[in-house]
Amino acid sequence: MNSGYVPVNLRKRLRAISDRRCSYCRSSETLQGIPLEVEHIIPRAKGGKTTLSNLCFACHRCNQFKSNHIEALDDVTGKIVPLFNPRVQIWYYHFKWSQDGSEIIGNTPCGRVTVANLKLNNENVVAARRIWIAMGLHPPID
């Protein structure tokens, strides 16, 4: 979790708008059994502020893989593009679920670099999604 202090009222507002899901991989906090973490979209180390417009909830895995990254190289276009910003971008524009629902597919350069850099389809989370799918609890319906 980012070491910067986030006021309780701001955490409550984030929780209310997050639907208790990671802003990046959309995994449910309840299914993971681990509390979501406050993530600075633009890291404090790069001048990001602790404001609602720069914060989101993320699972521990996505928060760790994102770290202080804000952009990455898109292998398809060969251009540096920003990572997904859940405060100003719509998830379903940049991503979709694979046919079986176990993997996230990037629809756009932003989506592709976010999938790759946050390792949204690492083997552990894909295995968990398959269990959640079998239980009828995934993918999320927004």
**Domain residue ranges of the chain, discontinuous segments joined by +:** 8-134
Report the chain's mean pLDDT, rounded to a whole number.
94
What b/e string do you get for 16-49 counting C-beta neighbours within 10 Å, with b at 16 or more?
A: eebeebbbbbbbbbebbeeebbbbbbbbeeeebe
pLDDT in tens, 3-28: 468 999 999 999 889 989 999 999 99
pLDDT of residue 142: 73
pLDDT in tens, 45-96: 999 999 999 999 999 999 999 999 999 999 999 999 999 999 999 999 999 9
Kindly report the pTM of this predicted structure: 0.93
Instruction: Give the model's confidence band at 2: pLDDT under 50 very low, under 70 low, under 90 confident, else very high.
Output: very low
Determine which helix (DSSP H) or strand (DSSP E) holds 112, and give its type and residue range: helix 109-117
